[in-house]
Structure 1
Amino acid sequence: MNGTKRGRGRRIVLWRHGQTPWNLESRFQGSTDIELTAEGIAQARRAARLLASLKPDAIVASDLQRAAATAAELATVTGLGIEYDAGLRETFAGVWQGLTNDEIMARYGEEYAAWKRGEPVRRGGGELETETADRAAPVVLRHAELLPDDGTLVVVSHGGAIRTAIGRILGLESHHWESLGGLANCCWSILGEGARGWRLMEHNAGTLPEPVLGDDD
Structure 2
Amino acid sequence: MKTVNEEENRRAGERRIILIRHGQTPDNVEKHLPYKVGGRTEFSKGPVISGHNRVGLTDEGVRQCTAGGERLARHLRDTGITSSEQLMLLTSDLPRTQQTLAKFVAAMPGFGLDLGTAKLHEELRERDAGELEGTLREEALREDPSIAQAFTDATYRYRGGESLVDCGYRAGGFLSAVARSVTKTLVVVTHEITILGVLGMFENGEVNDKAWRRKGHVGNAEFFDVAFNCNTLLGRVTYPA
- Which TM-score band applies after superposition, normalised by the shorter structure? 0.7 to 0.9
CA–CA separation in structure 1 for the residues paired with 2:228 and 2:197:
18
Q: Kindly indicate whether structure 1 or structure 2 has the higher relative contact order, using CA contacts under 8 Å at least 6 residues apart.
A: 1
Kindly name which structure, 1 or 2, has the bigger radius of gyration based on alpha carbons.
2
Amino-acid identity (%): 27
Name the counterpart of 1:7: 13
Alpha-carbon offset, residue 123 of structure 1 = 1.6
With over 3 angstroms needed to count, the CA separation of the structure-2 counterparts of 1:40 and 1:173, relative to structure 1, is: closer
- Asked whether the equivalents of residues 152 and 212 of structure 2 are also in contact (C-alpha less than 8 Å), the reply is no
CA–CA separation in structure 1 for the residues paired with 2:27 and 2:57:
9
Name the counterpart of 2:25: 20
With over 3 angstroms needed to count, the CA separation of the structure-2 counterparts of 1:68 and 1:5, relative to structure 1, is: same
CA–CA separation in structure 2 for the residues paired with 1:32 and 1:177:
24
**Residue type of the alignment partner of 2:219:** A
Name the counterpart of 1:167: 200
Alpha-carbon offset, residue 7 of structure 1 = 2.8
- Asked whether the equivalents of residues 133 and 161 of structure 1 are also in contact (C-alpha less than 8 Å), the reply is yes
With over 3 angstroms needed to count, the CA separation of the structure-2 counterparts of 1:70 and 1:119, relative to structure 1, is: closer
**Residue type of the alignment partner of 2:189:** V
Of residues 158, 161, 170, the one that matches 2:191 is 158
- Asked whether the equivalents of residues 15 and 157 of structure 1 are also in contact (C-alpha less than 8 Å), the reply is yes
The answer to whether structure 1 residue 105 and structure 2 residue 141 are counterparts is yes
Name the counterpart of 1:122: 157
User: For 1:134, what is the secondary structure of its paired residue?
Assistant: helix
Name the counterpart of 1:202: 239
The answer to whether structure 1 residue 84 and structure 2 residue 125 are counterparts is no
**Residue type of the alignment partner of 1:48:** G
Name the counterpart of 2:40: none
Structure 1 gap ranges (5+): 204-208, 210-217
User: For 1:190, what is the secondary structure of its paired residue?
Assistant: strand
Query: What's the TM-score once normalised by structure 2's chain length?
Result: 0.74
Structure 2 gap ranges (5+): 30-45
Query: What's the TM-score once normalised by structure 1's chain length?
Result: 0.81
How big is the alpha-carbon RMSD for the aligned residues of Structure 1 and Structure 2? Answer: 2.4
- Asked whether the equivalents of residues 126 and 192 of structure 2 are also in contact (C-alpha less than 8 Å), the reply is yes
The answer to whether structure 1 residue 62 and structure 2 residue 92 are counterparts is yes
Name the counterpart of 1:42: 63
